[in-house]
Structure 1
């Protein structure tokens, strides 16, 4: 376990410019040591003095804002951090959850082709509504000077993460959960697609012939991606070798998917025949182009994002 001071530094440095982190860390640690020494000179034990000093310094997010010369304004300084934390927490799960539920209901209602689009549109709408209403409520509370009786900041709220860690545990867990869901969907779609086959079962979404080679390969790549997420978290930040490995894994997944889609080998032909919307006009080509574009964009985004994080965390 790291000391309270190390955890306080980690929480503060997370929100300051990378270029100034070393300078701020040195300055802040020296100030904390001096303040602790002043307290212990009056007879306090070191542990108690450390807690009192960090409590006096206050919320690390507010201290980081002062170091970065960043004003905590939008709804107002009093409730800015409460607004920011609540909005971030809601946006991490609520829009996606509502979008998935609405998409599934749309598919169950017989509109399998439009389920994905409906789910994405709903998720975006929920995110916009959340941002608007949460911001409006906090702005009104700020300007009417309503006291929410929020608990004061305490050192007990400090994270256990190291000062040099740039990857939160929550991000790693979210990535792993997403990868596990994708892995689980590949066998699940073989038995449940909401498109009846006429014999009491469902028509698989993906061509069953792919289980002879391609689907096991894709599952293996996804498992390796989970391993990469764990390794990256243990390292604490993105490094250029990890970025290169991430690029290789993204290519290993995206390239087969794009090739299979482009050659009409990914989607089950029987599914196309039974879903009238897919069989009409150029709808299948439109879906194929959209999925190909989405796959390429997601892969490029993930690689670029990891490269940017590696560049920012360089020492």
Structure 2
């Protein structure tokens, strides 16, 4: 055999178990020789035939993996769908919750709104990366160990009755419900736990609103959770659900915008405690919040109407 074939054999055998190298070397050398003889019999030059054969056999590392029955994939088909579904659920929910909590804590304990936003975003990103890494690492280990997940076999009974009509997924509904629950929890939390320095606790929202608008807004958020559940059970947006969505959006957005624009939402003592809020920051925060609420409300209603119109 020529030096080129010897080099190919050496590269291949380097990645196979030592106990099988002699057997594989004999088998592979014979196969290469037969393939070269076949091409030279057709009139091809021996050197060109050898190069053509080795190119056809491909990467020595890939060939060695086939001899060693070693998978060249991080996560194979037996685990991929479970890994994908779990990762989507975790990354869709956990980073947003952790990032929001960190951002709120930073905003209420420091005099730096921009830093709080940055801390929330960076924390959410880091949590997402950590989740993706560790979930993937666990499934890669399971793949290498050949561990059975003992999942039930798929059957036709699992087919949805009308897959074309389902316009909402469990992941999206769960993410929406988690965000709504978190928003409801933030309201009493900010009243009792907001620390602005030297163990001084000042609510962000005017405490007087607990006797008027805050219970109403919490009731609207709870009703919105019910809407999310009803939407998932229906499998898609219907015009009746769109109408309920419109009413709930207006029931939340109109009071919030009115409270913002009339300077009744934020606790005056909280605003007075921070220089950036006293020096015009509260006006900027009011304008941005009102714009965000308006934009989100319009988009949510139009998006639900579009999906209801598109549904069969």
Question: Do both proteins adopt the same fold according to a TM-score greater than 0.5, normalized to the shorter chain?
Answer: yes
Structure 1: how far apart are the matches of 2:243 and 2:160?
25
Q: Compared with structure 1, are the counterparts of its residues 182 and 100 closer, same or farther at alpha carbon in structure 2 (3 Å cutoff)?
A: closer
Q: Compared with structure 1, are the counterparts of its residues 125 and 275 closer, same or farther at alpha carbon in structure 2 (3 Å cutoff)?
A: same
Q: Deviations over 1:38-88 (max 9, x none)?
A: xxxxxxxxxxxxxxxxxxxxxxxxxxxxxxxxxxxxx9x979867854652
Q: Compared with structure 1, are the counterparts of its residues 214 and 194 closer, same or farther at alpha carbon in structure 2 (3 Å cutoff)?
A: same
The Cα of 1:214 is off from its aligned counterpart by 1.2
Structure 1: how far apart are the matches of 2:183 and 2:201?
19
Q: Is the 8 A contact 1:96 1:123 kept in 2?
A: no
The Cα of 1:261 is off from its aligned counterpart by 0.7
Q: Higher Cα Rg: structure 1 or 2?
A: 2
Structure 2: how far apart are the matches of 1:84 and 1:149?
18
Give the match for residue 282 of structure 2.
284
Kindly report which structure 2 residues correspond to 1:1-315, keeping only aligned pairs within 5 A, or say none.
85=85, 88-100=88-100, 102-104=102-104, 106-107=106-107, 110-111=110-111, 113-114=113-114, 116-122=116-122, 125-126=125-126, 156=153, 162-164=160-162, 166=166, 167-195=168-196, 202-280=201-279, 282-312=280-310, 314-315=311-312
Q: TM-score, normalised by structure 1?
A: 0.58
The Cα of 1:218 is off from its aligned counterpart by 0.9
Q: Is the 8 A contact 1:192 1:202 kept in 2?
A: yes
Q: Is the 8 A contact 2:249 2:297 kept in 1?
A: yes
Question: RCO (CA 8 Å, sep 6+): is it higher in 1 or 2?
Answer: 1
Q: TM-score, normalised by structure 2?
A: 0.59
Q: Compared with structure 1, are the counterparts of its residues 114 and 161 closer, same or farther at alpha carbon in structure 2 (3 Å cutoff)?
A: farther
The Cα of 1:250 is off from its aligned counterpart by 0.6
The Cα of 1:148 is off from its aligned counterpart by 9.1
Q: Compared with structure 1, are the counterparts of its residues 124 and 204 closer, same or farther at alpha carbon in structure 2 (3 Å cutoff)?
A: closer
Q: Is the 8 A contact 1:191 1:201 kept in 2?
A: no
Q: CA RMSD in A?
A: 3.9
Q: Compared with structure 1, are the counterparts of its residues 163 and 121 closer, same or farther at alpha carbon in structure 2 (3 Å cutoff)?
A: same
The Cα of 1:266 is off from its aligned counterpart by 0.5
Q: Is the 8 A contact 1:106 1:114 kept in 2?
A: no
- Structure 1 spans left out of the alignment, 5+ residues: 1-74
Q: Compared with structure 1, are the counterparts of its residues 98 and 206 closer, same or farther at alpha carbon in structure 2 (3 Å cutoff)?
A: closer
